[in-house]
Amino acid sequence: MGAAGGCDVIEFLGEVAAWFADPGTWSGRDGIPARLVEHLWISGVSLAASVGVGLPLGLLIGHTGRGAAAVVAIANVGRAVPSLGLMGLAFILLLPLGLGVGPVPTIVALTALGIPPIVVNAYVGLREVDRDLVEAARGMGMRERDVLRQVEIPIALPVILAGVRTSAVQIVATATLAAAIGGGTLGQIIYIGFNVGDQVRIFGAAVVVAALSIATEIGFAALQRAGTSPGLRGRPYVPTEPAQVGREAGEPMNP
Partner 1 sequence: MRTNRTFVLGAALLALVVSACSPGEGESPAASTDAGASASQAADLPAITIGSQSFWESAVVAEIYAQALEDAGFTVERNLELGARDVTQPALVGGDLDLMPEYIGGLLAVSYGGEPTPDIDASLEALRTELEADGLVAFEPTPGTDADGFAVRQETADELGLATMSDLAEVAGDLKWGVAQECGENPNCGPGLERVYGIDYESLDLETLGACTTAIAEALNASNIDVAQVCTTQPEIAGFNLVLLEDDQSLAPAQNIVPVARQELVDEAGDVLETTLNAVSELLTTEELTNLGAAIILNGESYEDAAAQWLEDNGL
* Binds partner 1 by CB under 8 A, chosen from 92, 140, 210, 214: 92
* Binds partner 1 by CB under 8 A, chosen from 30, 130, 146, 217: 30
Nearer to partner 1, 192 or 223 (CB): 192
Dist. CA 200–CA 198, nearest whole Å: 5
Nearer to partner 1, 42 or 160 (CB): 42
What is the CB neighbour count within 10 angstroms for residue 3? 7
* Binds partner 1 by CB under 8 A, chosen from 196, 234, 235, 238: 196
* Binds partner 1 by CB under 8 A, chosen from 31, 44, 67, 100: 100
Dist. CA 249–CA 227, nearest whole Å: 12
Nearer to partner 1, 96 or 255 (CB): 96
Cα 254 to chain centroid distance, Å, stands at: 28
Segment 103 to 162, residues that bind partner 1, using CB under 8 A: none
Of the candidates 183, 179, 208, 204, the one whose C-alpha atom is nearest the C-alpha of residue 191 is: 179
**Residues making up the chain, counted from first to last:** 255
Residue 93 makes contact with partner 1 by CB under 8 A:
no
Dist. CA 34–CA 203, nearest whole Å: 18
Nearer to partner 1, 104 or 151 (CB): 104
Residue 23 makes contact with partner 1 by CB under 8 A:
no
What single-letter DSSP state applies at residue 98?
A: T
Question: 24, exposed or middle or buried, with CB in 10 Å at 0-12, 13-18, 19+?
Answer: exposed
Task: For residue 92, give the H/E element and its range.
Answer: helix 83-94
Contact 125, 160 (CB under 8 A): yes
Question: In the bound complex, what is the minimum distance in angstroms from residue 206's beta carbon to partner 1?
Answer: 15
Nearer to partner 1, 160 or 179 (CB): 179
Contact flags string 164-193 toward partner 1, x per CB under 8 A: ---------------xxxx-x---x--xx-
Nearer to partner 1, 182 or 227 (CB): 182
Dist. CA 36–CA 109, nearest whole Å: 19
Residues lying near partner 1 in the complex (CB under 8 A)? 29-30, 88, 91-92, 95-96, 98-102, 179-182, 184, 188, 191-192, 195-196
